[in-house]
Structure 1
Amino acid sequence: MRTYIILCLYLLLFPWRSFGQTVDSLKHADTVNDPPQRDLIDVYHWVAGNSETVRRDEGKFHNAPFPAAGYTLQTGFAVVLSDNLAFSTGDSLAKISDIATSITYSQYNQIIAPIVADIWTRGNKYNIIADWRYMKYPSTTFGLGGHTQYSDGYTIDFSYIKLHTSILRAVAKNLYAGLGFYYDYFWNIVEVDPPQGIVTSFQKYGLTKTETSVGPAARVVFDSRANPVNPYNGFYANVVFHPSFTWLGSDANFTMMQIDLRKYFSLSRNHRNILALWSFNWLTAGEKTPYLLLPSTGWDDNFNTGRGYIQGRYRGNDMTYLEVEDRLTISRNGLFGIVVFGNAESFKRNLASRYNTIEPGCGAGIRLKLNKHSGANICVDYGVGMDGSSGFAVNLGEVF
């Protein structure tokens, strides 16, 4: 999830948080030739002069409130108060459930308050996935299609409620399927500083004060990764089919489909060099999809597509996205690593047009091991795109 740089206060609080994993993310380390694995919590203990670095892991529930601050192209500087609850059913093979919430206030007067849950029942029979969030979100739009210029950007302001919930059931090894219900509502939509003397793409498309989408969702997930937090092998597929209907309250009858595919290859004996591939396709059909729900750069559920571009840089009826990343652990104790990545995205301006532009991006980043048990990293990347676009992307956990 595209988020914020974690500051020293977080490191003071983090030792009281512990993660469980159904698979020890460090089993692939060479215990004979490599030194003990280390993370930022160990660094904290070392700086504090505390030789006791054994983490307590009693109980099923582990809570971790923490403040943070950071910077992104879209938010400017921001302050964040977050909380995370990790728990399990106690089954030795149980996957870890996680509920994360936060509230963010940014330099651009944005308010972001999500509640994101990934809950597993006993025996991993059911998986409950929820993404609920409130956003007061002045942000930049550039128009439709792949031919827009960076200078075309202007601010739109809106408030947004997102309530997405799915319940999946295990149907085979690593395979889950189920249904959900999605509700999206935008209100107080206004163009703050549109270019003068022209009709904007938003106005041509149909500028309204509110936009609404309501409908069921069908979802299929396949996940063979040993460690979803920091994958070093396996395959992940997530397919969502979501129709919206006027009789449920939507502005129009339309359909969305998202196809998210990821594959991971280990290029070294001890998994210190990982090649990660990502394909993300976001398609719409039917009547007019609300403008703010159209496929757009950085508007996937985790806000991660398009490193090198500001969120919302490109927008259209359909989106195709590809990314490749090489992840290399530099220090033998696993504390520090680097990555290089490249991506490409293409958008259709409308349902009748074709994909006629490709917008590439590339960059590099550093990785600092935040928790050696879960494999979670603090990820700081710098990406470069076309038309002078560039900027930092900061994540708690890998981008994909």
Structure 2
Amino acid sequence: MNVCAHSQTTFNSSAAVRSVYKGVDSSLERDLVDVTHKLFHKKHTEDSSNIRPEHKYNLAIVPAVGYTLQTGFAGIISANVGYFNNGSNKISSITTSVTYSQYQQTIVPLVIDIWTKNDKFNIVSDNRFIDYPSSIYGLGGRTDPNKGHTIDFIGLKLHESVLMTVGKNIYAGIGYYYDQFWNIRALNPATRRINTIITNELGHYEIASGPVLKFLYDNRENQINPSQGLYANFVWRNSMEWMGGNPNYQSLLVDVRKYLPFPHKYSKNTLALWSYNWLTVAGTPPYLLLPSTGWDDQYNTGRGYIQGRFRGKNMVYLEGEYRYRITRNGLIGGVVFANVENFSGDLSQQYNTLLPGYGLGIRVKLNKHSGTNLCVDYGFGKNGSGGFYVNIGEVF
């Protein structure tokens, strides 16, 4: 029996915004800022429950330490600027960070999410440079957890899009996505199988390049920690050889999330439901761009399994999470969650390999105005798989 224990640290793009979220009644809430002031008997220069949301710009610089099996210990410095444009009800933010690991691995994202006046346009720029090893296990849901291989590569992600309001809470737009991986090499190249994978399936570089069409419905009041509402995001991607992609392929991403007060409509507890479907419609994406566990944009799918554990042409993923308060003031909370995923080589194939995960976690309120939590979870999967997951901000 294989045991895959790991810890994963991520940072959500809006989570560092301090006291800029509008419409949150925080007068009876408590967060770590309040606890710190109380412990050290410091008098508030400005009560955190009365900080005016109309303060336009808010800068947060957050140092952190992370650990994963792939990176060892890692030092992280993240900077975030959050603000509201005139007439906008949605947070605009610019976030960047630098992660450097014990094994000389580097991750540098730059995420820009801008809402223009009256929320007419949403400009999204999601960029990332990565240089770190990743485990691969082959295709499908029946791969052997004891036969993983570690490859190293450098990656560049440039995802740019503009959406326009076309109705109440409805947005549509276009964009351009570019992904490139190069210097792909095996860290254990002596085995014939890994050499075959590198030569025939991976190559030494991979590129996807082309236009995207996007459609979004989002009526959540708080995008950082929703308590109610619906989020539905559809992205049609077309990678074209004449634009530098290799090979041609088309894919569809369907990301739907529903949030309900539970067990009754006045409850401060939340039932969150997530359906994440990453489908190949035509052609075959490059190996490293195939749908894979934990390789969504926020690296959050598949709690209970190590990143990259399963991979295939099509990924169907479902998750439910119940978020509840432990203390009445919201400082401490808990969650229980369960998920199931399936990977198939063809959309017509039967879903006969279901891969379940489940677990529980603790929440500590970092920012009572935005609802940002420190999230520490432990997930379990098949064949003894399991590990810790640490996030600033909810998983979905």
What is the TM-score of this pair, normalised by structure 1? 0.90
Identity percentage of aligned residues = 49
2:298 is matched with: 302
SS in 1 for 2:382: coil
1:368 is matched with: 364
Given the superposition, is the C-alpha separation of residues 199 and 399 from structure 1 closer, same or farther in structure 2, using an over 3 Å criterion?
Answer: closer
Structure 1 residue ranges without an equivalent (≥5): 7-13
Q: Which amino acid letter does the alignment assign opposite residue 106 of structure 1?
A: S
Correspondence 1:349-388 to 2 at 5 A: 349=345, 353-388=349-384
1:205 offset after TM fit, Å?
4.9
| Range that drifts further, 266-275 or 168-177 | 266-275
2:170 is matched with: 175
Q: What is the CA–CA distance in structure 1 between the aligned matches of 2:186 and 2:339, rounded to whole Å?
A: 30
SS in 1 for 2:370: coil
2:108 is matched with: 113
1:289 is matched with: 285
1:22 is matched with: 22
Correspondence 1:30-179 to 2 at 5 A: 36-52=28-44, 54-55=47-48, 56-57=51-52, 59-91=55-87, 93-179=88-174
Q: What is the CA–CA distance in structure 2 between the aligned matches of 1:152 and 1:351, rounded to whole Å?
A: 26
Given the superposition, is the C-alpha separation of residues 354 and 157 from structure 1 closer, same or farther in structure 2, using an over 3 Å criterion?
Answer: farther
Structure 2 residue ranges without an equivalent (≥5): 1-7
Given the superposition, is the C-alpha separation of residues 4 and 213 from structure 1 closer, same or farther in structure 2, using an over 3 Å criterion?
Answer: closer
Cα shift readout 1:220-258 (whole Å, capped 9, x = no counterpart)? 110111211111111110000010100001111101110
Establish whether residue 3 from structure 1 lines up as the match of residue 9 from structure 2: yes
SS in 2 for 1:332: coil
Given the superposition, is the C-alpha separation of residues 73 and 238 from structure 1 closer, same or farther in structure 2, using an over 3 Å criterion?
Answer: farther
- Paired positions, count: 381
1:277 is matched with: 273
Establish whether residue 208 from structure 1 lines up as the match of residue 223 from structure 2: no
Is this contact kept in 2: 1:4–1:68, CA < 8 A?
A: no
1:4 offset after TM fit, Å?
5.2
2:332 is matched with: 336
Given the superposition, is the C-alpha separation of residues 221 and 46 from structure 1 closer, same or farther in structure 2, using an over 3 Å criterion?
Answer: same
1:204 offset after TM fit, Å?
7.4
Instruction: After the TM superposition, list the runs of 4 or more consecutive aligned residues in structure 1 that deviate by more than 6 angstroms.
Output: none
Given the superposition, is the C-alpha separation of residues 226 and 201 from structure 1 closer, same or farther in structure 2, using an over 3 Å criterion?
Answer: farther
Q: Which amino acid letter does the alignment assign opposite residue 23 of structure 2?
A: V
2:256 is matched with: 261
Establish whether residue 225 from structure 1 lines up as the match of residue 220 from structure 2: yes
Q: Which amino acid letter does the alignment assign opposite residue 66 of structure 1?
A: V
Is this contact kept in 1: 2:71–2:132, CA < 8 A?
A: no
1:19 offset after TM fit, Å?
2.8
Is this contact kept in 2: 1:5–1:68, CA < 8 A?
A: no
Q: What is the CA–CA distance in structure 2 between the aligned matches of 1:255 and 1:19, rounded to whole Å?
A: 41
Cα shift readout 1:105-159 (whole Å, capped 9, x = no counterpart)? 1233321000011110010110011110100021111111001111011100000
Cα shift readout 1:274-298 (whole Å, capped 9, x = no counterpart)? 1111000001133331000000000
SS in 1 for 2:9: coil
1:5 offset after TM fit, Å?
9.4
1:319 is matched with: 315
Among 195, 198, 205, the residue aligned to 2:193:
198
Q: Which amino acid letter does the alignment assign opposite residue 42 of structure 2?
A: N
Q: What is the CA–CA distance in structure 2 between the aligned matches of 1:352 and 1:375, rounded to whole Å?
A: 42
What is the TM-score of this pair, normalised by structure 2? 0.91
